[in-house]
Structure 1
């Protein structure tokens, strides 16, 4: 057992001898202290094993004796060492790959949000990023429970948040709060949400406080939720009737009050406009990013552009010392191009701007009754300015709760 172990440590070579009188070569080897074993003869060849330390001496004797030596196999630690030396680059690369894989698995590369319907996904991801959870974040830079608590403080619409961290992926699971409906069920008035002239009044519940043709201001009561009984009950005594007439009661006012309302939209357009346009020329620069520095590796430092836009895209990982990776900078050349508009074109563009501003003011269900355009600029001006006045018919009522003081009075 010890001899076999020694042979493996020193190295063993399996040989075949071919030639006349190989026995003479074996006797010479034994007389020189070269140890041979597992000697077998098949046909005109002799097979044997020799230690690596005696192989060179045996080879010299074979040449002197005219015997051909063929190496069949090599075994033992010295030969494994040579194999490892030849493949040191592969083994080193494998080792570095394993280290890099372990290192990269310590970062979050994928984020997913589930369970949200009303709260925007971007809003949730922004909140997570503010507290240390983002694509490329190191796992040691944030505490899961702390991030959950901080996000709940940021997002009042969320009732529950759970971070499920699995490998390089994190799923943000949220449960939204079930908010009460916007409709008011307790006693309330219908008040004006904007100025206008009342056109139609439809009372379903409550008491009308305005009539058609009346001008109202924002906040005026249109349909009162405090009702004063107007006719006594025939089943009550006269004294009881007088008491009943004096006691108003509160209801949830319901109805519709349509009024004529007016809106103004302003628009302008220059007759000559200088715009920045792309020429189609561009230049790429590649940088190597290491903590605290960046090195230009391709693309040259300068581009012969007088005016350009700069866009940077990074592929890097965040470490406690700074980003490591690559950065691509894209420079796109721009130039100034002058565009001149005819008077009719400028009026059309200014009108589109004014209409866009108008549509953002009145309700989409409003009925447009009339529209009038006023040109504010003079013929010699370098800019067309105009104003559009629109008259609409719309429901201006909105519910407002009644306080206890009003009911008491």
Structure 2
């Protein structure tokens, strides 16, 4: 990062070599201490490389020695940018006014954000902050030190055990840690745990209540697994049944996968826009004009200037617009089968729960028709099979 900024400040040019002995020119310049980069042959058969402005003027003796001529293909960096600005005085004045405006705007608190609160409402926290002089559109120099703000907010909000205030540019973040109070256990009505689908029981654990099925038993949807009634006769009582029951459940899926897939391809054509970043605001300095691509993707890369361990309040932002197109790719029947099975398994695990495990799969039917692979597949899944059923009337099993 620091090296890139240094190169940009010095200025950088891309040159193309014509005539003479280009290889001898490059070797001699490198041996003489010149820093050449991106050395390559162009499609038109010309040698091309990049070097700083200082090294460009030191290149003359090597050109005479090898009989080469150079043509400057592009110029980048602060020296060339300043030359262009000197020809546009009104533009420079506008930039200065823009910087002054940005400085004033960056001296304001634009937003106050609250994090960490669950029971306490945002409105209550904002009201307490406003009483201490912290609110949007307040001058930052009028704010109290963050340590003082934290203590005073804690006094106004006794439901919090800790409050931290952090300044992030034009944004202030209030971090809340609420005081913990013992939660009252919710009253639960007596209930059975019943099967939510047909299954073969693989594991049962009754924490509370009475297990009425055993491992390897086949159960039907709605059948009681752990009863909420214990005891018998006059000693019978109802409880809140608790526990876990897992079983093997069969899921049938019909899958259709086309043999022609749409894939995204980058053509290599792109357009780059550069912005100067000052105080969180961006000013475009290059890459003007309309987007030439019908289908495209945009990649944004921000670089903040730094000196040693300190980050400076300015930098640059690069926005790359890449041309893309959608191509069709044919896949084999085996690839289509794998894609379909993978999609079906993903849906099963989402539906059956995070603890579900696919134990087996059976392809019941498969055919290829109209450019698609059709399959009917049955999956054997081990999963939790319990759901609650309120126990309204006392009843035996």
- Shorter-chain TM-score bucket reads 0.3 to 0.5
When Rg is computed on C-alpha atoms for both structures, the one with the higher figure is 1
TM-score normalised to structure 2 length: 0.47
